[in-house]
Each structure stands twice: as structure tokens, then as C-alpha cells.
Structure 1
Amino acid sequence: MGEFDFVIVGAGSAGCVLANRLSKGARYRVLVLEAGGSDRNFWVRMPIGYGKTFYDGRLNWKYMTEPDPGIAGRRSYWPRGKVLGGSSSINAMVFIRGQAEDFDQWAALGNPGWGYPDVLPYFQRAENNTAGGNDWRGTGGPLQVSDVAKNVHPLCKTYIAAGIEAGLPFNPDFNGASQEGVGLYQITIKKGVRASAATAYLRPAMKRSNLRVETNAHVTRLLFEGGRATGVEYRRAGEKYTVRATREIILCAGAVNTPQILQLSGVGAGHLLRELGIPVVHESPQVGQNLQDHVGVDYIYRSREPTLNNILRPWWGRMMVGSRYLALRDGPLSLSVNQGGGFFRSNSRLARPNMQLYFSPLSYIKAPPGQRPLMSPDPYPGFMIGISNCHPTSRGRLEIRSADPFEAPRIQPNYLSTEQDLEEMLEGVRFLRRLAATESMARLIAEELTPGPAIATRDELMDDIRQRAGSVFHPSGTCAMGPDPVKSVVDPRLRVHGLAGLRVVDASIFPRVTSGNINAPTIMVGERAADFILEDARRA
């Protein structure tokens, strides 16, 4: 394959950003290696199609965690994008930046340049918000962020009214001055089609002669000369290839694959690597540690009024909305099912919201194992209201099982392993019950189906949480940013401590997971890192 100035491993949310920004101007030769294939797939492009890609092994790593005591010994399913665009090509498209305090906390942990005033311009640079620009929103950027208030299901109005009755303020923009309140989510769609990092950043840049993108290229390890990363080894169609990077190798493989690749390459905890027969290139004990994820649980209701179930369940309804989508690119198939949302404080002592809300105007309580049939919901009108925690204190870990680069790593999330996390979830589901008891919701609800009104005591609610709570698919923190090489993996400019020519740019660098969905902050990290890399290249 030869030499490139920059080799980017992973065409996910941050990798696509870097591919675009580093190849601009044709000064540098850039190679992107993506283990998955093309994103030119109908189910990827159609917004509600993520119900199909959720278990599609052609587009998805389909990871499973280890049995977890915090959730009654259950294993969690972790979908991760294995396709151009990464998880931005298979997610629910909700665009949430996080709270200003999240980034101020990053800076306070010893990461100068990552406070909210520092990162806000990069959020704005990334987006083209259909609501227009202001002190918080951006316009003219590559990523379309759409206000879908005119298109959401009518029951979203009922949900918002109930949230206000329950004491939450109406919030027209969770990415504005404050995150707190109830309202509608902004989502990453453009003209009824998913706007992923691939469509926004990568595909426009692929026209450039100095950018090369290799799909189905599974990176097996990094190559080092002394203390410098100089090359990448990968397999494609059964053949082994190597490529050299004259300036930098940039790992953008995500919170699972980035630490996996580092460990396979001899960068990680020495005792683990020696045990597996992998020569230690650099001792970095925090690789794979500090794993964080948001945990959620849904309450499911039978409705007295029609929901999306009434449209998407019968064959004639599916045919009708399918024809409409193909002809006009609108209707229910052009949206996410996560339409209503919100952020609230589970108790009044807190200074900022610690819980996220989700309202979906459909239900699929009878989903068979191994499937998530969003296109075939329950045969009666139903809807779901869910919560997830914003600031989990539980920490997990991730480590390779062997030196085989094709074996999935061992993922131990340690969900709900602290009393604080469990108490917050209990407070959160009690708020759901209060929300359901408001006048607006009480008129709508025919019956609470799951967990059901018989689950009422503290112990019963706690047990239900452990039995049903699970990932909302925001893993992060496994190569955390920080000033101390013993307590972190990368420095504030995202360079791997103790090694030259190697950076990490993806959600694994989050020292603390942000409040809400993590695609937007991951894209911001890509934008921020692009400036670091180009500045350092000019000085070299």
C-alpha cells in the first residue's frame, strides 16, 4: 500500500471528521481503514431503518458483555457500527451535545482547552441547524441537524403537557442555554434521509485525490519502531497488508475497538499482555479501564388513542407509509422513534439534571429474542417512556481475551455497581410514575403494561430495574484523556502518553461520559483534534 502522512483507523463519527479536515487542501496524504463496508444501504439511509441494522452483522459488530451482577447476572447487547460512518450510521440520530458542566469538568480534571467555552465553537462548526444560528447553534457546517417539531406524532404534545404538569419547564432546544426541561429531540436527518458522519464529512472528501478509503480492512495491530508508531497491519479479503504513516497514526475505532487494538499491539496493562503472550511495547495500565455507559429502562403503556402501532403494525399501514417514504421522503419512516425527550433532576438537591427522558409513540413489548422489530410493533396502541442516567459513577473495563485480533474482547460494564447509580434509577422510575399520573397522561393511558402497577414497593422497583435495565449504547472512557500517564491514556492533545506518532480520537477519550447521547460530542472531539493535528504538523 505504501506510505501516507496520516493513517486513520476507523471511519466512525470522529474518523470521518478527521478524514475530511486532514485531507482538505491536498497537502497531506490520508488513508482511512474501515473494518466494515459501504453505508450505501437502504436500511442505513432510511431513518427508522435502524430497527433493521440493530442486529445486522454486515453493518454491526454485535458485541455482548459479560454477565453483570448489577443487572441480575444478565448480559447486555452492544450494537456498534461496522460500516462507513460507524455508529452514526446505525444510531437513533438524536443530537445532544451534553451539559456545559460536562466539559468544564473535563478541563477541571487537568485537560486545558476542553472547557465549554473552548468546545462550543467546534460544536457550532460541525452543524447546520435547520432552526438557524444563535449563541449556541451553528449553521453552514457539514452535519444537518433538523428540528422535526412539525412532523412528530401528535401524542408528543400530550407528553410535553404532562412533563410541564409534572414540574418540568418546556425546553425548545436541549442544545441551547440549558439542557433541563421537556421537549422534542433534534435529529440528524436531511431531506428525510439519515445524516451520518459518513454522508456529512467522508463522502464529500472522497472525491479528493489525496484521500484513500479502504473498506473491509480489519486492523490487527500497530507497528512500532522504538517508541514511535510507524505503521498499521490489517487484513482484507484474507490477505495481510501493512501501511506506513510518516506523520501520525490516529485511532478512531471507538470505545471498544480502540483499546482492543492498543492491547493487541502491546500497549496496555503489562500483566494482561504478558499473560496472553503479547510483547509489551508500552506499559499503559488504563487502556480499557474507566469504561462508562448510560443505563436505561422503559415503562410501556397501552394507549387509549392511536399510536404508531396503528400504522406500522398492519400490512396495509406499512405499505402506505413505505410508499409515502419512497415517493416523498417523509412520514413516520423519515424520523426516529425517539421523538419526545427531556432532562430532569431526580431530586431537588442536585445542581443540574442527572436523568434523561425518552418518549416513543410506539411499543414492542413482545419483541422476539434476537430481534428489535420497530417495523412490527405491538398489535394494539401503545407507547414507551424511558429514562437513563446522565452521570453514572459505576466503572467497567474492557480487555482482549487472546492475541487473536478477530476474537471479541471481554466487556465488563459493572452497571449499577454503586449505590448512587441505583438510587438515581429508583428516583427516575418514580418520576415516570408521577409523569404517568398527570392529568394529561392519565387521560391517555389505558394500562401500564410493563412493569405493571403491581410493582410498587422500593424493593420491587429496585428488582425490576436490575431485571430490565440495560445499555442505551453510549460506551466511552476506555482510553481516557488526562495529564497523568498512570491515570489516563492520552494527554489533552489526545496523544498517547509515552509514545510518538500515535493519537486516539473517539469517545474512548472521554474522561467522563457526557450528559445524553454521545454522537454529537464525538464529532466535536474529531473537529477539535483536527486542529491539534494540523497545528502540530505545521510546527514539525
Structure 2
Amino acid sequence: MRTCAHGPSPVPHRRDTAPVRRAYDVVVVGAGTAGSVLAARLTEDPDRRVLVVDAGPLPRGAAGFGPALLDACLVPGAQPNHPATHAHPVRLTPERPWLVPRGRVLGGSSTVNGGYFVRARREDFDRWAAAGNPAWSYERVLPYLRALENDLDHGAGPLHGDGGPMRVRRGRLDHPAAAAFRDAAHALGFPDDPDKNDQAPPGFGPVPANVVDGVRRNAGLSYLPPEVLDRPNLTVLGGAAARRVVIENGRATGVVVEHDGRRSVLDADAVVLCAGALATPHLLQLSGIGPRADLERVGIPLVRDAPAVGSGFSDHPQVVLEWTPREAWDEPSGSWLGGCLHLTSPSGGPAGPDGGDGPGDLEILQSLVPMSGLVTGGAGTAGGPLPFLVSALTPRLTGRLRLRSADPATPLSIDYGYLGGPDDHRRLREGVRVTAALLASPPFADVARGLVDPGREVLDDDRSLDQWIRGHLGTAQHTCGTVPMGPADDPGHAAVDQFGRVHGVRGLRVADTSILPDTPHRGPAATAVLIGEVVAEAMRR
């Protein structure tokens, strides 16, 4: 039976007697960034029957999304209670509660994020490979990175591709604020970094983005356009929330979903969880796969003692610094993104262009839209203060999530563990101070009145600046590592293998940023697409 997201969509019932062949070969749980990729690639084989289920709507084509959701000058995920998101309550520090929104719509968070599409660094891939995942070395993933993209600036070559679903283009930096940022970075001696996807030394440059002519081309729109959704071997079901994986005799045989107020079981030969780095570990634990003590505490029967599920994760702490333009400019056209500076913080002393070799563990990302516009949807915000988003990118497993109840509706307990060590404060201090120095340089001072906050007395004192950072702390929402990949003989650090297969449970995989051992030195959107490609090819083999 074929179902879709348009009109009534009855859920297939589980049969009373096991058929010779189950209803589907694969059920993909989550039509987000990686799930869209997986569904598209798996159904390229016409004899494989794939069902995709998602808790959100699954629109057909750009018209189904509507212009507001695709407008690259807006960031839907920054708007509180946006209908295309689901918010997870978390604690960034014990004193800093926060809400982390994740996309709940076709394309997932790639539909509601900023369109930033920067590859992980070579150091990230090689670190993951050295942790027992040789398929993830930079040399082995580069062909996938080329195949998934259509680079509209560089075309086909040794580092880039021109035939993939994801269209990538870099911003032009012709907005006065972006030009001032570029000139200020040059004045302070930071190197040019014109292609942030070529693994050159970090510096200043435009942001590669999955944005074309002002439209955010999310993974759903790119991989699952109407002609792919219409494949006879692909069934999609929106508005269906997965509640747990059915596991019989050590093998995944289906998924329990809630749809139209009732629960049903979707049978399949294999299940792939692509629900995201917060929802996927929750589903695993509800299914009896997780730390034994946590499952026993809430009364969930143990299927597999997997202590690595949720025991550590990483993300990028972030603070926002606003500055006041000397004049009111027109609102940007094309994208909210301006320029971006990556730099490597030294082990001591002030950060700067001579901070040392490294992948760049600080990011200063420019927004050409005021925070008030990003939060409200952009109307009437021209001339307001403009923000820089300053993030510390060092991969650190500071977070932990725990199950609070066997009820799927009860949120996880999620602690990010930010600012737990002295280097955490130091890196953010360095990022804030470099941003202040850029704004004070002659090229920027010509167009900027300076920072709104913090003032010079705070900037010059470590203790005062640390206090300011704690009071303004946010997150880049780049969660990774909640179901990390690695060898089966290291259950404390690995829950899946390098192709997403859950250790000890046949027929069950994970394909989203949960499986990365830690967060890369860049935002993980491009890497999430890569995960879908790598896992899909492994399954097709």
C-alpha cells in the first residue's frame, strides 16, 4: 500500500502471521538531512522497498515548503516555537537552561538552519578513522564529498563535484558589513580562505552554503524532489512519530509508530534510525538499547547493554556579539550569512593570525540580519545592531543525556556540560576579543560604532569577561556523538560500527550525526549528508 503526506495516510497493520516477505525491506525513521539522502539512494535500486516515516510533514517540492521556510535570509530554527521545529529542553551549564530546536519536516534541520554547508576538516576525518573507523579517513570520504555536491563556484575537479544533489555556492561579500569584515581581517593579518571546503589553512572567506538565488536548498528538496518521491518502491508517511524499534531474537523487525492517535507496527527486514542526535539515542533507549542501569531504573527490558549510548556527546558553545552600524543599510539579498573567520587559538596568549597550526578551533560567523530579525522572521529590522556568532569548535565530549521515563513523551535529561574547564572559557574569551579587535580596526571602524556589549572594562579583565560569557552563553546546535561509531570490542565508547550497524542487534542501523565520535571542527550539516551517502552505499553493497 502506498501512502504519502497529502491527505489521509493509513498506517499498514502488522500481520497476524509472519509473511514470507515483510511489508518493507527498509524502514527509515526520520526524513531529515541524512534520512533524505538514505531514502533517495536506497530507492535507486528498484527492487528495494523503502518506507520513510517522520513525525513532521513531508511536503512535495518547493511549493509544498512555501517561500517563508526556504527564504535564505531567514533562519526558521532561530524563531521560537516555529511549527517546523521541535524544541528539546537542555542545560548548557547547571545554571543555564536552554531550548534546542531541531527540524521536524522533510529535510529536518537542513530546512530550518542557516544553510551553512562547510565540510569537516581533514583532522576530524582522520581522528575518527584512527578510533577504529578506517572508512572515515579523509582520502576515503573525499569521493563521497565530491559526489554529493554540485559546486556552482568551482565545478568538477580533484576536490569538488558538479553532479550531486546538494547545490553549493559561496556568498559574494558585497554587503558593506561583509566587505568591512573582509578588510578588517586583512588588516589584522588573517589569511584568505576563499574555499572553506578545500582543507587550506583557516582564515577569512565566504561561507559555502546550500543556498541558490536566495533559496535554502535543504536536503529534502535536493534528494527527495517530487520525481523521487514518486518512485514506486518508496513510501513516505508524515505525521507518524516513532516510539520504539521492535526487536525479536536479537533482530530489528519493525517500528512502533503513533499516527492519527493510534499505534501500529510497521514491519521491515531492516530499520535505520535517522531521527537526529537527540531523538535517535532516545529511541534506542526506549527500545532497550542503552546503559543497563538507566534502562533498569525506568523499567525498560534490556535488549542490549550499550553504555556508549548517550554517555558522552559534544557540541559547540557560542556567544553572540552585537555591533551598531553607523548608518542603516538595506536588508541583504540572497542570504543572512556574511563572511566567516576561522582561526586557531594558541595554548596561551592572545589569539591572532599567528595562533599556530591547526584546523581552526574558533569561528567568527557574521550575520547580515539583526538578531531581532532572525528571531521574529525579519520584518522591519533594517538598521538594527548586527551580530557576530562566536563559537569554540574544539571537539570535547562534555555532554550527557539520560532517560527519565519509559514514556516516550517524557523528554530526556540533557546536560551539555559547557564551560567545565579553564580552556573552555579561554577559547571563548579569545574569540570575543578577536571580534572586538576586528570592529576596532580602521576598516571596520569606518562603518561601525562598536560593540553593543561587552564594554572595554569587561573585555580587559578575564574574570569579568568569563562572567559575561556565562550570562550570554548559547549553543551552535551541532550535537554529535550520542551513539558513537567504533569497534564492537569497545562498548564504553562505541555503540555502532563505521557503517552505522548497531553492535549486537541485527538489522538495525543509525545514520545521522549521532554516530560521529565527536563534533567536527565545523558545523556538521555537510557531514550529515555525507553520513547518509556512506551508510546508503554500505547497505547497497
Per the TM alignment, residue 351 of structure 1 is displaced from its structure 2 partner at its CA by 3.0
- Aligned partners of 1:15 and 1:252 also within 8 Å: yes
Aligned mate of 2:115, from 69, 77, 93: 93
Q: How does 1:154-169 map to 2 (within 5 A)?
A: 154-169=176-191
Residues 396, 271 of structure 1: CA spacing in aligned structure 2 closer, same or farther, 3 A cutoff?
Answer: same
Aligned mate of 2:385, from 382, 387, 391: 382
- Structure 1 stretch displaced more, 337-346 or 104-113: 337-346
Partner of 2:271: 249
- Aligned-residue sequence identity (percent) comes to 34
Residues 1:258 and 2:280 aligned together: yes
Aligned length: 503
Equivalent-residue separation in structure 2 for 1:433 and 1:447 (angstroms): 8
Equivalent-residue separation in structure 2 for 1:191 and 1:432 (angstroms): 29
Partner of 1:450: 453
Gaps of 5+ in 2: 1-11, 15-22, 347-354
Aligned mate of 2:247, from 224, 230, 236: 224
Aligned mate of 1:509, from 504, 507, 515: 515
What TM-score do the two structures reach when normalised by structure 1? 0.89
Partner of 1:396: 399
Per the TM alignment, residue 377 of structure 1 is displaced from its structure 2 partner at its CA by 6.3
Q: How does 1:28-39 map to 2 (within 5 A)?
A: 28-39=48-59
What TM-score do the two structures reach when normalised by structure 2? 0.89
Q: How does 1:345-360 map to 2 (within 5 A)?
A: 345-347=344-346, 348-360=355-367
Per the TM alignment, residue 59 of structure 1 is displaced from its structure 2 partner at its CA by 1.1
Q: How does 1:96-107 map to 2 (within 5 A)?
A: 96-107=118-129
- Aligned partners of 1:294 and 1:388 also within 8 Å: yes
Partner of 1:274: 296
Per the TM alignment, residue 67 of structure 1 is displaced from its structure 2 partner at its CA by 6.3
Residues 352, 147 of structure 1: CA spacing in aligned structure 2 closer, same or farther, 3 A cutoff?
Answer: closer
1:61-89 CA distance string (max 9 Å, x none): 111203623xxx11122110011110011
Partner of 1:339: 338
- Aligned partners of 1:393 and 1:418 also within 8 Å: no
- Aligned partners of 1:146 and 1:187 also within 8 Å: yes
2:538 maps to a residue whose letter is F
Per the TM alignment, residue 306 of structure 1 is displaced from its structure 2 partner at its CA by 3.0
Per the TM alignment, residue 492 of structure 1 is displaced from its structure 2 partner at its CA by 1.6
Partner of 2:538: 532
Aligned mate of 2:318, from 296, 299, 312: 296
Per the TM alignment, residue 516 of structure 1 is displaced from its structure 2 partner at its CA by 1.4
1:89-130 CA distance string (max 9 Å, x none): 100001110211110110111111101111111111111111
Equivalent-residue separation in structure 1 for 2:81 and 2:160 (angstroms): 34
Calculate the aligned-residue CA RMSD, in Å: 1.9
1:234 maps to a residue whose letter is V
Equivalent-residue separation in structure 2 for 1:379 and 1:36 (angstroms): 33
Partner of 1:55: 80
Gaps of 5+ in 1: 312-330, 536-540
SS at match of 2:26: strand
- Aligned partners of 1:264 and 1:405 also within 8 Å: yes
Equivalent-residue separation in structure 2 for 1:362 and 1:46 (angstroms): 13
1:458 maps to a residue whose letter is D
1:186 maps to a residue whose letter is P
- Aligned partners of 2:77 and 2:101 also within 8 Å: no
Per the TM alignment, residue 429 of structure 1 is displaced from its structure 2 partner at its CA by 1.4
- Aligned partners of 2:316 and 2:392 also within 8 Å: yes
Equivalent-residue separation in structure 2 for 1:516 and 1:48 (angstroms): 21
Per the TM alignment, residue 462 of structure 1 is displaced from its structure 2 partner at its CA by 0.9
Per the TM alignment, residue 52 of structure 1 is displaced from its structure 2 partner at its CA by 7.3
SS at match of 1:455: helix
Equivalent-residue separation in structure 2 for 1:389 and 1:107 (angstroms): 23
2:486 maps to a residue whose letter is G
Partner of 2:434: 431
Equivalent-residue separation in structure 2 for 1:12 and 1:466 (angstroms): 32
Residues 47, 379 of structure 1: CA spacing in aligned structure 2 closer, same or farther, 3 A cutoff?
Answer: closer
- Aligned partners of 1:362 and 1:377 also within 8 Å: no
Partner of 1:417: 420
Per the TM alignment, residue 138 of structure 1 is displaced from its structure 2 partner at its CA by 1.3
Per the TM alignment, residue 381 of structure 1 is displaced from its structure 2 partner at its CA by 4.4
Per the TM alignment, residue 177 of structure 1 is displaced from its structure 2 partner at its CA by 3.6
Q: How does 1:296-335 map to 2 (within 5 A)?
A: 296-308=318-330, 311=331, 332=333, 334-335=334-335
1:19-71 CA distance string (max 9 Å, x none): 001011312000001011134232212222424773245311111203623xx
Aligned mate of 1:4, from 9, 20, 24: 24
Per the TM alignment, residue 374 of structure 1 is displaced from its structure 2 partner at its CA by 4.5
- Structure 1 stretch displaced more, 385-394 or 165-174: 385-394
Aligned mate of 1:215, from 238, 241, 245: 238
1:239-258 CA distance string (max 9 Å, x none): 11111112x21010110000
Equivalent-residue separation in structure 2 for 1:35 and 1:513 (angstroms): 25
- Aligned partners of 2:121 and 2:199 also within 8 Å: no
SS at match of 2:257: strand
SS at match of 1:255: coil
Equivalent-residue separation in structure 1 for 2:69 and 2:522 (angstroms): 22
- Aligned partners of 1:54 and 1:79 also within 8 Å: no
- Aligned partners of 2:90 and 2:100 also within 8 Å: yes
- Structure 1 stretch displaced more, 251-260 or 374-383: 374-383
Per the TM alignment, residue 271 of structure 1 is displaced from its structure 2 partner at its CA by 1.0
Partner of 2:65: 41
Equivalent-residue separation in structure 1 for 2:328 and 2:383 (angstroms): 9
SS at match of 1:78: strand
SS at match of 2:244: strand
Partner of 2:6: none
SS at match of 1:79: strand
Per the TM alignment, residue 193 of structure 1 is displaced from its structure 2 partner at its CA by 1.9
Residues 1:114 and 2:136 aligned together: yes
SS at match of 2:96: coil
Per the TM alignment, residue 394 of structure 1 is displaced from its structure 2 partner at its CA by 4.6
